[in-house]
Amino acid sequence: MKYFISVLFASFFLIGFSFIVTSNGICDIKNGKTIYEQSCMDCHGKDGKGVLAPPHLESDRFKSQAGVVALVDYIMPATSPDFCTGTNAEDVSAYCTEEFKYKIPKETIAAIDATDAEGRKLLFDQTCSVCHGVDGKGDLARPIVGSTLFKTGEDVVKFIDGLMPFHNPRKCKDECAANTARYVIDSFDLKLSDR
């Protein structure tokens, strides 16, 4: 009974603090918890140590919170990825990051100085590599290396500005789009016809 009361108390406490601000804006942790319990727990376990899926407790796989959201939005739940997308993917990702103590580097996109080649690489690695791979050869999304999709550098900027990152294009606009475009053009041998 004592246990029950303390759980009850803890739940009230948690409800009060169920909104946290993450790099994705305001995420509803309570919604994330509900989704996790309904759609993820059978495979991943209540404690994140894995049942039918590999453990993700204290995962160090992600370079940014956007990476967690991309993985959930894109390929989780493993059997029906369309089931958890958009704000639901953001909510359950925020819940998982918090609850399962993912080790995500602290630098935010805004803090990256992308004025030199090294900075642009870091920006790409944090914002784009979860889908395209650090080498641009594709991971969850198709390769960028050797792309024949664009005529000019300006096309690349517009494409990234409007469409990338695929799950949330608003996260890399203007300067970010220009800098990642430059990195992509410099590094991945795009077949531009205006070169």
The residue range among 7-15, 16-24, 108-116, 164-172 that interacts with ligand HEC, by the rule CB under 6 A, is 164-172
Contact by Cβ (8 Å): 76, 140: no
Q: With CB under 6 A as the contact rule, which of the stretches 5-13, 16-24, 108-116, 143-151 interacts with ligand HEC?
A: 143-151
Q: Nearest approach, Cβ of 58 to ligand HEC (angstroms)?
A: 9
Tell me which stretch binds ligand HEC (CB under 6 A): 6-14, 22-30, 109-117, 125-133. 125-133
CB of 18 to ligand HEC, least distance (A): 17
CB count within 10 Å of CB 113 equals 11
Please spell the DSSP secondary structure of 22-39, one letter per residue: ETTEEEEHHHHHHHIIII
Q: How far apart are alpha carbons 134 and 43 in whole angstroms?
A: 28
Should residue 180 be labelled a site residue for ligand HEC when binding is judged by CB under 6 A? yes
Site string for ligand HEC, 49-88 (x = CB under 6 A): ---xxx-x--x-x------x-xxx-x-xxxx----x----
Identity at 65, one-letter amino acid code: Q
From 36, 27, 193, 179, select the one nearest 118 (Cα to Cα). 179
CB of 43 to ligand HEC, least distance (A): 3
Distance in angstroms (rounded) separating the CA atoms of residues 18 and 16: 6
Structure-block tokens of residue 154: 């300006």
Tell me if 63 sits within 8 A of 108, measured CB to CB: no
- Asked if 122 interacts with ligand HEC (CB under 6 A), we say no
- Tell me the number of residues near ligand HEC by CB under 6 A: 43
State the minimum distance, in angstroms, from the CB of residue 140 to ligand HEC.
6
Instruction: Between 104 and 128, name the residue whose CB sits nearer to ligand HEC.
Output: 128
21: helix, strand or coil = strand
Asked if 19 and 13 touch (Cβ cutoff 8 Å), the reply is no
Maximum C-alpha span of the chain:
74
Residues at the contact surface with ligand HEC, assessed by CB under 6 A: 35, 39-40, 42-44, 52-54, 56, 59, 61, 68, 70-72, 74, 76-79, 84, 92, 96, 127-128, 130-132, 140-142, 144, 147, 149, 160, 164-167, 172, 180, 184
